[in-house]
């Protein structure tokens, strides 16, 4: 009975840890549309000496590239890339204030794009009750910490797999459209050749019939 009670307590504890983990992740993930000849900027207030990681990827559209620029509160450029498909940049904030992240598609006149951005601000929060530990962790706490790390990795893997799946699906749809268009053009060309051949043959017999003696 005691072992059953301890097992139930363990399940409740781990479930609580999972719920707290989901609510404690300090990051901003979003996927947004970036029209042709457009520029989209995002603002984030960050405290000094805070670690920040910016990750982005162009999911669909054109050559899968955008211009990216990151500025601090004093308008100094921290990070800049031109026509990049994906990248990740980590830095430590030198000033407290509003940081600006801009994605530009102004170099494209007709390609509409879909962009994914992940902005992680600050270090990941430790599990409740573990960060203040002054003694060795118990087996339960060690297991919870391992689950914590595994869940973070799983969330990251799932996000990247979803992005790859969306990108692959879009490329497959574009390829399918091109194959369909090429097939229609070939069909139209074959029918044109067929009509031309019929016309030539009809004229050949019409000329013979008109030149025949009465």
pTM over 0.85: no
Give 68-122 pLDDT, tens digit per residue: 999 999 999 999 999 998 888 999 999 999 999 999 999 988 888 989 888 888 8
Output the DSSP codes for the chain. -HHHHHHHHHHHHHHHHHHHHHHH--EEEEEEEE-TT-EEEEEEEE-TT-EEEEEEEEEESTTS-EEEEEE-TT--EEEEEEEESEEEEEEE-SSSEEEEEEEE-TT-SS--EEEEEEEEESPPPPPTTTTT--SPPPHHHHHHHHHHHHHHHHHHHHHHHHHHHHHHHHHHHHHHHHHHHHHHHHHHHHHHHHHHHHHHHHHHHHHHHHHS--
Fold of 26-123: Jelly Rolls (2.60.120)
Give 22-44 pLDDT, tens digit per residue: 344 457 788 889 998 899 999 99
Give 161-177 pLDDT, tens digit per residue: 777 787 778 778 888 88
Least confident of 8-12, 126-130, 204-208: 8-12
What is the C-alpha separation between 63 and 111, in angstroms, rounded? 9
Least confident of 3-7, 46-50, 56-60, 63-67: 3-7
Confidence of residue 212 (pLDDT cuts 50, 70, 90): low
pLDDT value, residue 15: 36
Q: How far is CA 45 from the centre of its chain?
A: 23
The rounded mean pLDDT for the chain is 78
Q: Which of 93, 83, 94 is nearest to 53 (CA)?
A: 93
């Amino acid at each position: 009975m005691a072992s059953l009670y301890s097992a139930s307590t363990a399940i409740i504890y781990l479930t609580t840890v999972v719920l707290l983990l989901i609510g404690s992740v300090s990051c901003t993930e979003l996927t947004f549309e970036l029209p042709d000849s457009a520029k989209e900027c995002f603002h984030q207030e960050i405290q000094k000496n805070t670690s920040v990681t910016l990750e982005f990827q162009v999911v669909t559209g054109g050559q899968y590239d955008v211009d990216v620029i990151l500025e601090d509160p004093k308008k100094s450029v921290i990070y800049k890339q031109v026509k990049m498909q994906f990248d990740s940049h980590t830095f430590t904030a030198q000033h407290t204030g509003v940081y600006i992240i801009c994605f530009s598609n102004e170099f494209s006149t007709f390609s509409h794009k879909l962009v994914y951005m992940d902005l992680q601000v600050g270090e990941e929060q430790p599990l409740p009750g573990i960060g203040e530990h002054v003694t060795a962790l118990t087996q339960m706490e060690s297991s919870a910490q391992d689950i914590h790390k595994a869940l973070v990795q799983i969330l990251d893997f799932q996000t990247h797999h979803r992005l790859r799946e969306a990108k692959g699906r879009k490329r497959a749809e574009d390829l399918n459209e091109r194959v369909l268009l090429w097939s229609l053009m070939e069909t139209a060309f074959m029918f044109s050749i067929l009509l031309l051949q019929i016309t030539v043959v009809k004229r050949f017999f019409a000329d013979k019939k008109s030149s025949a003696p009465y």
